[in-house]
Amino acid sequence: MDKKKIWLSSPTMHGDEQRFVQEAFDTNWVAPLGPNVDAFEKEVAAYTGSVAACALDSGTAAIHLAVKLAGIQEKDVVLCQDLTFSASCNPVMYEKATPVFVDSEEDTWNMSPEALEEALLRHPEAKAVIVVHLYGTPAKMDAISSICASRGIVLIEDAAEAMGSTYQGKSCGTLGDYGILSFNGNKIITTSGGGMLLTHDEEQAKKVRYLATQAREPRPYYHHTTVGYNYRMSNITAGIGRGQLLHLQEHLEKKQAIYRMYEEALKGLPGVRMNPMNPKGVANNWLSGIYLDDDAKATPMQILEALQAENIESRPIWKPMHLQPVFEEYEFVKDPKQGGRDISAEIFARGLCLPSDIKNTEEDNERILRILKEMLS
């Protein structure tokens, strides 16, 4: 295809990344850990307002270690957001615990506090909750935090898609007991691959770093008293992250402008609405999405195929966990006030993530909007 490729969300480099990476090469510090890792942790902690940040090789590793710190063991029940990427709940399976999937709500597309209450009525023995800020939109953290605190349940906040998002003035990832960030290649800032675990407790951070470096004891020889993991970020990738962090505000503003562009361009078209915002927070708008009602002129897949025919990438909404074959045997809990509706499945069936790359030109955006308006008018 000879038409220019328009990506959903690809990395955006600025040159500052190379400066930190070059420093690592110049000092021969290309092994795991090093000055860039230490500095990146301090810079992210300062940006988010967390007590400590632990740089790891993926967001999934961060979730896994949060599950470990929460004391989750075999057969323990963990209440997981249903509408998300599987990395949010796969670490529950690593520990042979039992996930129970909690439906989302229409207001934010995130975990429904009402469905969470229902899940806890059924499973008062639950040990932890994993909530997700889907596509960077903050969940209703006041309600969810209150529910967990009243029952003494550990709250793990998956902010993998929400770097830069805030809720009531606080950074997403700092509102639970443990917070997760991702710097995967398509995120708002990237280290190519990598993540962070945010914590309010420096002692917990020390435990994370211990577990993430094969649980090696501080002795002159290799001595281990527990099973560890090779999860620490490298000095090279941390250097990329430091350079990216310098441009986070710029990326935020461009992502938010993309959302506003779609919102304005699609206003008034029948059966079309944008992915919802939480009025108590500020979303980073990592990905902009639409929801198509029955009276919309096209289906999500028709739009996806029309964009694809023009070499433009879009993506279906995450397929809910309770519809995934690997999780089909596990319980799914809906909000009893919704009359049996499966909100997660509805959003999956009717939603679509639109191109949200901050490098798109005015001409690129005109190509995208022309197709959308042709399909939906």
Could you give all domains of the chain from N- to C-terminal order, each with its CATH number? 16-245 (3.40.640.10), 248-376 (3.90.1150.10)
CA distances from 171 to 44, 80, 140 (A): 11, 21, 13
pLDDT, residue 2, reads: 80
pLDDT, residue 47, reads: 98
Tokens of 12: 């955006």
pLDDT, residue 32, reads: 80
Nearest to residue 156, comparing CAs of 218, 79, 251, 267?
A: 79
pLDDT one digit per residue (tens) for the chain, 377 residues: 589 999 999 999 999 999 999 999 999 999 789 999 999 999 999 999 999 999 999 999 999 999 999 999 999 999 999 999 999 999 999 999 999 999 999 999 999 999 999 999 999 999 999 999 999 999 999 999 999 999 999 999 999 999 999 999 999 999 999 999 999 999 999 999 999 999 999 999 999 999 999 999 999 999 999 999 999 999 999 999 999 999 999 999 999 999 999 999 999 999 999 999 999 999 999 999 999 999 999 999 999 999 999 999 999 999 999 999 999 999 999 999 999 999 999 999 999 999 999 999 999 999 999 999 999 99
Residues in a beta bridge with 102? 81, 333
User: Would you say the pTM of this structure is higher than 0.85?
Assistant: yes
